[in-house]
Amino acid sequence: MQTLYFALAIFLLLNLVAGMWRVMRGPSAADRMLAAQLFGTTAVAVLLLLAQASASAALRDVALVFALLAAITAVAFVRRAWPDEKVEDDAE
Amino acid sequence: MVTTLLQWTFDALLGLVLLWLAWRSLASTDLFKSIVLFIAFGLLMALAWARLDAPDIAIAEAAIGAGLTGALLLGALARLRAVVNEEGVTPQQQPLLRRFPVWLPAILLLWVAAGLAYVVAALPPYAVGLSAQVAANLDASGVSNPVTAVLLNFRAYDTLLEMVVLLLALLAVWSLDIPLAGVAAAPGLILDTLSRQLVPILILVAAYLLWVGAHAPGGAFQAGSVLGAAGVLLLLTGWRLPPRLEGLPLRMILVAGPGVFVAIAVLTTLTSGQLLQYPPVQAGLLIVILETVATVSIGVTLAALFFGSPPRGKQHQ
Amino acid sequence: MTLSDYSAAVLLLAGAFFFLAGTLGLLRFPDVYTRLHALTKADNVGLGLIVLGLAVQAQSWAAAGKLVLIWLLVLLAGASVSHLVARAALHRGVRWWRR
């Protein structure tokens, strides 16, 4: 099982690296930001796998903090920092 | 055997991607792309800390480096655009290297790299470190997590200075007094619901990290930064502190962390003659008090850092 | 390898496959909105299957519970943020793909 955990961790890390291409290319700012979202989720999965592989329960706490904080950056992007001239925020 | 090889591959891949991210983040001319790459860098840095067997730092890096710094940088970018839009210029990152001859930074880098290589080569094959002494004195420290014992007991002086530095950073930002550009519209239904769900969860997780820091990775800084994230989310939905809390109560909370720390330092100096020497019987209680006050203070300070401008008290109107 | 090992391995591999699908979607789909769609597949199903596979092997109910909690939080945050980003993109006039 150890080998499977680490092999999957490497596979997910490679996925993450592949996603960087979208950050570099992504024509709009939203593309870059949602690539960052995918990185966050992939990192959560990697941390959970590492937690099981090295029997370190603390890494699950790290994954918990990751899961929560990834949303904050995205909300800050949507509400504050969309890099375009139109500053009309979402009106519901 | 295969497992060790896989671990090495993972670590090598992580290291290479970190280096690449650092380079691209500094070298790109689009500021927003740099910020997103920096956030990704923070994420992978937290993974690196996790692989280095340092979960305490990993939690702090995830909360501060990836989450809060990302939000702070995005806020700074928004303010920058508001300022330069009046002058009709697009914000762009100037590649620093273009201003110097190419060989000058290269020589400096080679010099630093050679120095570091020499230091690493001169290290003893088995690093001794201080873990033996820490383990020997852990029982008298009041907690069972060695990291918390070092941060809040053995080297409490450094933590005291860090808290003062955080307060000074906030004062520096307040002295700049750049108001948030434009009035944010009311949050839509989705953002409203999300914040109503997430903010209590964030507060609970902060309390959990504070409690667990005594015997497992966690502690005041980690809990404080998660609390700060809750504050940032609230501010992003357009919530503002009620005016009667903006003046003295806010300032009291901000000062409470370093203030209580200094008070305990004075107290221990008076009673035992040594700065921050806790009596072993009360050490646990002192650490709990310090951590709780520090958590609230750090959280409010970080949220205030994100908001940027000082509260408009009555005397400003 | 016991039965729980086998089932955990199958679940983990399935989850990794969905992560691959999400990344491929992120790279290959033609515009922001379809990429968001691919992203949430990785979030929900990919992470869900991995969490399930790890929960089967977990040492205690508390650990398994924490795993499920993390997955639920990622679901909540991911779904809300996708909606927010998509609607903001629409308001700012990001074009969608036409065949």
Could you read off the pLDDT of B16-75 as tens digits, one per residue? 999 999 999 988 888 899 999 999 999 999 999 999 989 999 999 999 988 899 999 988
Show the CA angle centred on residue B40, arms to residues B37 and B44, nearest 5°: 135
CA distances A68 to B125, B136, B194, B235, B305, Å, are: 40, 37, 11, 16, 20
Confidence class for position B246, pLDDT limits 50, 70, 90: confident
Q: Is the pLDDT of residue A77 over 50?
A: yes
Evaluate whether residue C98 is within a structural domain.
no
Q: Say if residue A15's pLDDT is above 60.
A: yes
Q: CA-to-CA distance for A23 and A65, rounded, in angstroms?
A: 23
Provide the 8-state DSSP code for C57.
T
Is C54 part of a structural domain of the chain? yes
Q: Please tell me which of the candidates B190, B197, B198 has its beta carbon nearest to residue C83.
A: B190
* Domains of chain B by residue range: 1-127, 142-317
Whether residues A65 and B50 touch (CB distance < 8 A) is answered with no
Distance from C-alpha of B188 to C-alpha of C86, rounded to nearest angstrom: 13
pLDDT band at B8 (very low <50, low <70, confident <90, very high): very high
What pLDDT digit, counting tens, does each position of B174-205 carry?
A: 998 776 655 566 778 888 889 999 999 999 99
Q: Is residue A92 over pLDDT 50? A: no
Separation in Å, CA B313 to CA A9, B167, B250, C2: 52, 19, 11, 67
Q: Across chain B, what does the average pLDDT equal?
A: 86
Chain A contact for C72 (CB, 8 A cutoff): no
CB contact under 8 A, A69 and B59: no
- Chain A residues inside the 8 Å CB shell of B218: 61
Cβ pair B56, B217 in contact under 8 A: yes
Provide the percentage of residues in chain A whose pLDDT is more than 90. 52
Q: What is the structure's pLDDT at A84?
A: 47
In the predicted model, what is the mean pLDDT of residues A57-61? 92
B131: how many CB neighbours lie within 10 A of its CB?
10
Structure confidence at residue B183 (pLDDT): 53
- In angstroms, the CA A39 to CA A42 distance is 5
Within 10 A of B287 (CB to CB), how many other CB atoms are there? 25
Provide the number of structural domains found in chain C: 1
Over range B275-281, report the average pLDDT: 81
The gap from C-alpha B225 to its chain's centroid, in whole angstroms, comes to: 6
* d(C-alpha C25, C-alpha C16), whole Å: 14
Structure tokens at B270: 């008076």
Sorting pLDDT into bands at 50, 70 and 90, what band is B316? Answer: very low
For residue B245, the model assigns a pLDDT of: 83
| Model pTM score | 0.88
- Structure-token match 């999400």, residue found: C22
User: Cα–chain-centroid distance for residue C92?
Assistant: 27
Does residue B84 carry a pLDDT above 60?
yes
Per the domain annotation, does C99 fall within a domain?
no
Which pLDDT belongs to residue B313? 58
Query: Residue B265: pLDDT above 60?
Result: yes
Q: Does A48 touch chain B (CB under 8 A)?
A: no
How far is Cα C94 from Cα A27, in angstroms, rounded to an integer? 10
B94-113: per-residue pLDDT in tens?
A: 555 566 677 888 899 999 99
Q: CA B26, B32, B37, B39 torsion: positive or negative? A: positive
Chain C positions in Cβ-Cβ contact with residue A64 (cut-off 8 Å): 66, 69-70, 73
| Eight-class DSSP state of B12 | H
* Interacting residues of B73 by C-beta distance below 8 A, sequence separation 6+: B35, B38
Interface of A with B in 55-74 (CB under 8 A): 56-59, 61-62, 64-66, 68-73
Nearest to C70 among A30, A63, A78 (CB): A63
Which are the contacts of B61, defined by CB distance < 8 A and separation ≥ 6? Answer: B42, B45, B46, B49
In the block, which residue shows the tokens 């310090």?
B290
pLDDT at B144: 85
8 A C-beta contact, residue A77 and residue B191: no
Other CB atoms within a 10 A radius of the CB of residue B218 amount to: 27
Partner B contacted by A84 (CB < 8 A): no
Q: Quick one: C90 exposed, middle or buried, by C-beta within 10 A (0-12, 13-18, 19+)?
A: middle
Q: Calculate Rg over the CA atoms of chain C.
A: 16
Determine whether the interchain pair B36/A33 forms a contact, defined as Cβ–Cβ distance below 8 Å: yes
Interior angle at CA C59, CA C56 and CA C63, nearest 5: 85
Ramachandran area for residue A83 (φ above 0: left; ψ -120 to 50: alpha; else beta): beta
pLDDT band for position A82 (50/70/90)? low
For C29-80, the pLDDT digits (tens) are 888 888 888 888 878 899 999 999 999 988 889 899 999 999 999 999 998 9
Question: Which ipTM was obtained for this model?
Answer: 0.90
Q: What is the CA radius of gyration of chain A?
A: 16
Task: Provide the pLDDT for residue B315.
Answer: 45
Q: Categorize the per-residue pLDDT at B78 as very low, low, confident or very high, splitting at 50, 70 and 90.
A: confident
Q: Flag whether pLDDT at B207 surpasses 60.
A: yes
Q: Of B120-134, B294-308, C53-67, give the lowest mean pLDDT range.
A: B120-134
Q: Which candidate, B291, B1, B277, places its Cα nearest to that of B163?
A: B291
Which class is B1-127 in CATH?
A: mainly alpha
pLDDT beyond 90 at B296: yes
pLDDT range class, residue A2, cuts 50, 70, 90: confident
Say if A25 is an interface residue toward chain B (CB within 8 Å).
Answer: no
Q: Give the pLDDT of residue B94.
A: 59
Both tokens of B269, joined, read 């100096």
Cα separation values, A6 from A50, A51, B146, B206, C12, Å: 7, 11, 28, 30, 12
Highest mean pLDDT among A41-45, A55-59, B62-66: A41-45
Q: Which of residues 237-296 of B touch A (CB under 8 A)?
A: 237
Instruction: Note the helical H segments in chain B.
Output: 2-27, 31-51, 55-60, 69-87, 103-121, 131-137, 146-149, 156-176, 189-212, 220-236, 243-246, 248-272, 280-307
Per the structure, the complete domain to which residue C51 belongs is given by: 3-91
Residue C95's contacts (CB-CB under 8 Å, 6 or more residues apart) are: C31
Is B143 in contact with B153 (CB distance < 8 Å)?
A: yes
Residues in chain A: 92
Percent of chain B residues topping a pLDDT of 90: 43
**Please, which residues have CB within 8 angstroms of residue A80's CB and are 6 or more apart in sequence?**
B74, B75, B78, B184, B236
Buried b (16+ CB within 10 A) or exposed e, B157-171: eebbebbeebbeebe
CB atoms within 10 A of CB A83: 20
* Cα B272 to Cα B276: distance, rounded to the nearest angstrom: 9
